[in-house]
Amino acid sequence: MLGRRLSYAIDRRLGRYGYNLTQASMLVALTKHPGLTAQDLSRPTWVEPSSVTRALQVLERRGLVARRAHPTDGRAMVLELTERGVEESRFIFELITAINSSFESSCDPDQIEAIRRVLPAWFERTDALWTGADLDPEEGATPVS
């Protein structure tokens, strides 16, 4: 529930600047990983592929993202930030950094250290949930696609 509340709060803050969390995540991800395909962008942003498509359409219309031919796959297109997209990504990154700092300032250093120790395990666990790797076939569970 904390993740949902945090996502909602960040989404509202980003909305003041004309973005939602999905769009912002994609801009930041393309800064860190230029040249991803739309399909590849789903994983680092934790966004469903159909939502990636919709968000990309908005970002392209706003002149923030451009597509170009994939260097080795004639059917695929890779995504890159435009000059304006790079500027907006920096702004979004600064905004997210300020939000993170506000959370850190509400905790004492020992609490922050405890959070930093546990987060990698939680991220690993969410990765397993995302991919379905956590499911035990003997229990009869199957991933939902």
Share of the chain above pLDDT 70, in %: 92
Would you state the structure tokens that stand for residue 35, as one six-digit string? 């040249």
113 occurs within a structural domain: no
136 occurs within a structural domain: no
Question: What pLDDT does 30 receive?
Answer: 94
130 occurs within a structural domain: no
91 occurs within a structural domain: yes
pLDDT at 114 over 80: yes
pLDDT at 145 over 60: no
Bridge pairing between strands 65-69 and 77-81: antiparallel
CATH code where residue 65 lies: 1.10.10.10
129 occurs within a structural domain: no
What are the tens digits of pLDDT across the range 117-144?
888 888 788 777 777 776 665 555 555 5
Range of the domain at 22: 2-96
User: Would you give the distance in Å from CA 49 to the centre of its chain?
Assistant: 12
What total of structural domains would you count in the chain?
1
Q: What number of CA atoms fall less than 13 Å from residue 106's CA on the CB side?
A: 7
